C-alpha cells in the first residue's frame, strides 16, 4: 500500500472528526497498570503506570492480562504496533474466558513486510466455536503512533471500534440460535509468533534481524462489570447503571452508522460471510448483523 492509500479523503477525515466529536465513547480516565493488570509471561517493560511495552525475540513473546473477569463492558486500549518488517508477528488485544469451550472477542494485528499494510483480524467465539473472521486494512499506519481500539460488549451487541469508529458489529441473536459470548472474560494483550499463518497464509516468515519486536500499550482503566465467579450475574452485568448497557449503546447512532458503512465499503479485505468456499450457505448471523 502506498502513502496515498493510507490517507483518508477530505470527506472521510471530516466524517471521522464529526463522529469523534459526537460519540460518548471516550477512553476511561484513571487506573494504573498494576492496579488492574498483571504480567503473565515474557518480557514486559513498565515504562510507567500509564504505558507498558511488550517485546518478542526468537526465544519468546509476552503478555499481560486483567486481574478481574468481566460480564460486560466497554474495553479500550491505546496501542502502537511494532514498526518496519513485522511479517509473522501478531499483536493481540482481546477478551477470553479461556478453556476448550471458551468465549472470545478478538482484535489481532497481523504484521507484514515493510511498506505493506498491517491487517486487523477480528473474530468472535462462543463455546469454543469461532471461524467468524473479518479482516481490515487501516486508513493510517498503526506503527507510527498510538490509536484507540475498543470492544463494546453488552446484552445487545458486540462492536469493534478503531479511534471511536465502529468497524464491525456482532448482534446478540440468541433467539435465532446464534451463539453469543456470555461467560466471564479476561482482558488480554499479547505479542507472539504467528508466522505459521498470519502473513500471506504463513508463507511470509519472521525476519528475526528486526527483533526484538516491540508493541506499546496505554490506558489500563477498569471499564467492565466484574464477574470473577464461575458465571455472569446477567441481571447485574446487564444493568443500565453501567453506561455501556444503556439504550444509547444498544445500536449505532446515525453518525456511527454512516462511519461504519464507509469503513465497510473501503477497508474490509476479508469477510467470512462472503466466503462461499468455506460457507456455501452463509451462517445465520451474517444476515442478522447487516
Least confidently predicted of 62-71, 123-132, 218-227:
218-227
pLDDT confidence of residue 12: 53
pTM of the model: 0.89
Which residues are CB-neighbours of 110 under 8 A, at least 6 positions away? Answer: 90, 118, 119, 120, 121, 135, 194, 198, 199
Select from 24, 275, 252, 225 the least CA-distant residue to 160.
252
Question: Is residue 54 over pLDDT 70?
Answer: yes
Question: Is residue 148 over pLDDT 60?
Answer: yes
pLDDT, mean of residues 143-151: 98
**How far apart, in Å, do the first and last CA atoms of the chain sit?**
28
CA angle, 79 then 147 then 64, to 5° = 20
Question: Is residue 18 over pLDDT 80?
Answer: no
Q: Which of 5, 35, 51, 108 is catalytic?
A: 108
For residues 234-243, one letter each, b for 16 or more C-beta atoms within 10 angstroms of the residue's C-beta and e for the rest, the string is eeebbeeebe
Select from 114, 139, 163, 165 the least CA-distant residue to 7.
139
Spatial separation of the C-alpha atoms in residues 229 and 238, rounded to whole Å: 16
Is 51 a residue of the active site?
no
Q: Please identify which residue in the block is written with the cell numbers 493481540.
A: 92
For 121-144, write each residue's pLDDT tens digit. 999 999 999 999 999 999 999 999
Full domain range(s) for residue 164: 3-288
Is 5 a residue of the active site?
no
CATH code: domain of residue 109: 2.60.120.200
Spatial separation of the C-alpha atoms in residues 87 and 96, rounded to whole Å: 25
Query: How many domains does the chain contain in total?
Result: 1
Q: Which of 104, 195, 256, 285 is catalytic?
A: 104
Number of neighbours of residue 226 by Cβ within 10 angstroms = 17
Question: Is residue 2 over pLDDT 50?
Answer: no
Contact 74, 49 (CB under 8 A): no
Select from 59, 71, 118 the least CA-distant residue to 95.
71
Amino acid at each position: 500500500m502506498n502513502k496515498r492509500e493510507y490517507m483518508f479523503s477530505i470527506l472521510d477525515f471530516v466524517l471521522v472528526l464529526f463522529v469523534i466529536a459526537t460519540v460518548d465513547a471516550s477512553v476511561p480516565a484513571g487506573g494504573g497498570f498494576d492496579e488492574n493488570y498483571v504480567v503473565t509471561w515474557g518480557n514486559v517493560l513498565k515504562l510507567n503506570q500509564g504505558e507498558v511495552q511488550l517485546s518478542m525475540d526468537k526465544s519468546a513473546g509476552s503478555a499481560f492480562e486483567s486481574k478481574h473477569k468481566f460480564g460486560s463492558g466497554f474495553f479500550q486500549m491505546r496501542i502502537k504496533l511494532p514498526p518496519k518488517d513485522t511479517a509473522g508477528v501478531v499483536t493481540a488485544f482481546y477478551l477470553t474466558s479461556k478453556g476448550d469451550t471458551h468465549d472470545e472477542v478478538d482484535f489481532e494485528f497481523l504484521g507484514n513486510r515493510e511498506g505493506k499494510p498491517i491487517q486487523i483480524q477480528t473474530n468472535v467465539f462462543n463455546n469454543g466455536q469461532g471461524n467468524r473472521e473479518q479482516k481490515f486494512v487501516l486508513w493510517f499506519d498503526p506503527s507510527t503512533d498510538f490509536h484507540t481500539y475498543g470492544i463494546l460488549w453488552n446484552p445487545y451487541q458486540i462492536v469493534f471500534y478503531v479511534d471511536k469508529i465502529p468497524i464491525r458489529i456482532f448482534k446478540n441473536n440468541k433467539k435465532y440460535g446464534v451463539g453469543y459470548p456470555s461467560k466471564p472474560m479476561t482482558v488480554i494483550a499479547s505479542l507472539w509468533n504467528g508466522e505459521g499463518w498470519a502473513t500471506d497464509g504463513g508463507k511470509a516468515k519472521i525476519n528475526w534481524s528486526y527483533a526484538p519486536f516491540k508493541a506499546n500499550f496505554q490506558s489500563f482503566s477498569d471499564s467492565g462489570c466484574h464477574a470473577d465467579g464461575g458465571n455472569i450475574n446477567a441481571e447485574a452485568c446487564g444493568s443500565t447503571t453501567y453506561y455501556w448497557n444503556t439504550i444509547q449503546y444498544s445500536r449505532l447512532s446515525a453518525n456511527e452508522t454512516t462511519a461504519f458503512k464507509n469503513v465497510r465499503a473501503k477497508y474490509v479485505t476479508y469477510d467470512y460471510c462472503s466466503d462461499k468456499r468455506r460457507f456455501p450457505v452463509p451462517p445465520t448471523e451474517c444476515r442478522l448483523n447487516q
